[in-house]
Amino acid sequence: MSAELETGRRQARRGFSASFMSNTKWRVFFSALHSIDPPIRQLVVKLIGAEKEQRTGLPLLYPPHPFASCFELGGPFPLIELEWVEVPDIALVERPSHVPAKRLPQDVDAVRVKGRGGVTAARAFNNRCGRNCARKSHAPHPGPQLR
């Protein structure tokens, strides 16, 4: 796991000029999302090394501190590899046999208002910046991804 962590750190340093989210901030953010009722079922996540974003459930926080785990992302991944996270208004749940995805509404306002221990998920996400490694050296900053 330390090799994966070092690879993630190298990618972050090479492609981005700053990091605004520490491992602790990501864990507080995901813990706040886990405490919301009704639960948030889906996130859209962009990892630094990935070409496009992926829909995933909430990550599990049981691995060692600098990691989180998502089945859809292939298991544990270093938190430093999170480029951005979005909480969509509608969760799309895939179904078998060419049946269209089930569309489940998510209470995005609860993400902005509630959280465990007085910490809102939006504040845990760090309102000034919606990205862990905030700016590619050649790209403008798009702002927070919470909708």
| Per-residue DSSP letter, 127 | T
| pLDDT tens for each residue of 69-111 | 988 888 888 888 888 899 999 999 889 988 999 999 998 888 7
Spell out the residues 6+ positions from residue 71 whose beta carbon is closer than 8 angstroms to its own: 56, 57
Tens of pLDDT, residue by residue over 36-70, are 888 899 999 998 878 899 999 999 988 778 889 98
Q: Cα separation of 135 and 35, whole Å?
A: 30
Q: What is the pTM of this model?
A: 0.68
Of 75, 45, 48, 54, residue with least CA distance to 63: 75
- Rg of the Cα trace of the chain? 15
